[in-house]
Amino acid sequence: MSSSPPSRVRPLHLPTPGLSQQGQLPSRKPRPKRRKHTSRLKQLGMGVLCVAGGSLILTVLMALSERFNTLLLVSQAVANLIRGLSLLATGLLQLVALLTVALLALFALLLLVGGLTRLVRAIAGAISAKGPRPDGSKAPMQP
């Protein structure tokens, strides 16, 4: 007894994500957006802290300008910045010069190796052209 294939083949049905059993999108209830309300006392405390912090920083800055000559401090900062930029530019120029010299040296070495290779091939070709031929003739071979 051999089993025969079924006369009707049903296609494989895979569930689709997001769809319910009936093939419809599940109904969702809209959620009301809830905002966390901070208490008035917390808002008042944060406001007082921000005002106190800002006032303290401004007071320290005012005392700092009385102790130090602020204009001198700014001019020294600008001078140091300019000096640093000039040192950076000098360093970059020196680096470019060094790379240029290194590339020229590498190019010279490549030219020497290439030239020596061509000379050796030319001399080897001339020696092999002047040597005796296997057939006994002394005339150079024609290409």
- Please state, rounded to an integer, the average pLDDT across all residues of the chain: 82
Closest CA to 16 of 6, 8, 26: 26
Residue 138 C-alpha from the chain's centroid:
67
pTM check: above 0.85? no
Domain extents in the chain: 41-130
Q: What are the mean pLDDT values of the chain's consecutive 10-residue runs (143 residues total)?
A: 64 68 60 75 93 94 80 89 96 96 96 95 87 60 54
> Which residues have C-beta within 8 Å of that of residue 25, sequence separation ≥ 6?
18, 19
Please give the single-letter amino acid code of residue 62.
M
d(CA 7, CA 36): 64
Q: Would the CA dihedral through 129, 134, 138, 143 be positive or negative?
A: negative
> Which residues have C-beta within 8 Å of that of residue 111, sequence separation ≥ 6?
none
Convert the pLDDT of each residue in 42-62 to its tens digit.
999 999 999 999 999 999 888
> Which residues have C-beta within 8 Å of that of residue 64, sequence separation ≥ 6?
70
d(CA 119, CA 106): 20
